[in-house]
């Protein structure tokens, strides 16, 4: 089992910045990926950004150049620095931990979600 604790989020005016963080603990395997997803009301959950344990990143096109995902020194914490926020970035943001056990087995864990609201 892996436990995820999210922090950050809140209300910010358009053009502002926020940082989300997510700390993982428990039975963590080295080949893992951490990431952030978001879901706005009436919309499907979408990938925002992911980062592997080796540092490879992937971003949603609409956040490229504005958001930066990174991992802490202990590798079990992931951060999402969000700059130049837009009202359309408003959503519940979820941390996801993909625990790769071996080449054919993976466990996915989700955080409880944190609200990000960007006012226009």
Q: What burial class does residue 117 get, using C-beta atoms within 10 Å of its C-beta: 0-12 exposed, 13-18 middle, 19+ buried?
A: middle
Residue 78 pLDDT > 90, yes or no? Answer: yes
Cα-trace Rg, the chain: 14
Residue 28 pLDDT > 90, yes or no? Answer: no
Per-residue pLDDT, averaged over 81-86, amounts to 98
Residue 75 pLDDT > 80, yes or no? Answer: no
pLDDT of residue 52: 92
Confidence of residue 89 (pLDDT cuts 50, 70, 90): very high
Are 33 and 95 in contact by the 8 Å Cβ rule? The answer is no
Question: In this predicted model, what pLDDT tens digit does every residue of 45-63 receive, in sequence order?
Answer: 999 999 998 899 999 999 9
């Amino acid at each position: 089992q892996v436990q995820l604790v999210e922090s950050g989020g809140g209300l910010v005016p358009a053009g502002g910045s926020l940082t989300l963080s997510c700390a993982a603990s428990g039975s963590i395997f080295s080949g893992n990926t951490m990431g952030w997803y978001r879901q706005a009301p009436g919309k499907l959950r979408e990938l925002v950004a992911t980062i592997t344990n080796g540092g490879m990143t992937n971003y949603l096109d609409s956040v490229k150049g504005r958001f930066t995902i990174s991992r802490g020194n202990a590798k079990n914490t992931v951060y999402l620095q969000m700059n130049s926020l837009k009202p359309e970035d408003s959503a519940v943001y979820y941390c996801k931990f993909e625990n790769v056990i071996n080449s054919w087995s993976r466990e996915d864990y989700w955080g409880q979600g944190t609200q990000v609201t960007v006012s226009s």
